[in-house]
């Protein structure tokens, strides 16, 4: 950061969201929120009951989406989120739902 100006960089995080997050509309709500924020990536249910997502965009938008993920939609009860930094993927240009893994 030079001269007090903040340059917003592109970041990507992989998230694993635990709690009551399946069967409550979490993925659809996350797609809507991510799209509104201009975040690209994907979300999917995992066979262990968690929801997994890759979120990519400018720092402020990704941080805003992750803050939303801690709450989720009204019926969700998020108990934990783990995240790790991953490489950005220039091919990601939308936010999609993937198949359960």
Q: What is the CATH number of the domain that holds 26?
A: 3.30.70.100
Q: pLDDT confidence of 101, banded at 50, 70, 90? A: confident
Q: What is the pLDDT of residue 10?
A: 92
Domain-embedded: residue 50: yes
Q: Which residues are catalytic?
A: 27, 45
In a domain, 76, yes or no: yes
Task: Evaluate whether residue 5 is within a structural domain.
Answer: no
Please count the structural domains in the chain. Answer: 1
User: What pLDDT, on a 0 to 100 scale, did the predictor assign at position 1?
Assistant: 37
Residue 97 domain-assigned? no
Q: Is 100 part of a structural domain of the chain?
A: no
Look at residue 60 and tell me if it is in a domain: yes
> What tokens were used for 76?
């969700």
CA end-to-end span of the chain: 40
Mean of the per-residue pLDDT values of the chain? 93
Domain span including residue 36 = 10-90
- Range 42-57 burial, b when 16+ CB lie within 10 A, else e: bbbbeeeebbbbbbbb
């Amino acid at each position: 950061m030079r001269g007090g100006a903040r340059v917003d960089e592109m970041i990507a995080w992989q998230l694993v969201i635990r709690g009551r997050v399946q069967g409550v509309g979490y993925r659809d709500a996350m797609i809507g929120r991510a799209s509104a924020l201009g975040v690209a990536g994907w979300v999917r249910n995992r066979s262990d009951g968690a929801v997994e997502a890759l979120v990519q965009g400018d720092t402020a938008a990704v941080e805003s989406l992750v803050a939303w993920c801690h709450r989720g939609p009204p019926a969700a009860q998020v108990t934990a989120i783990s995240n790790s930094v991953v490489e950005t993927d220039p091919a990601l240009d939308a936010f999609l739902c993937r198949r359960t893994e």
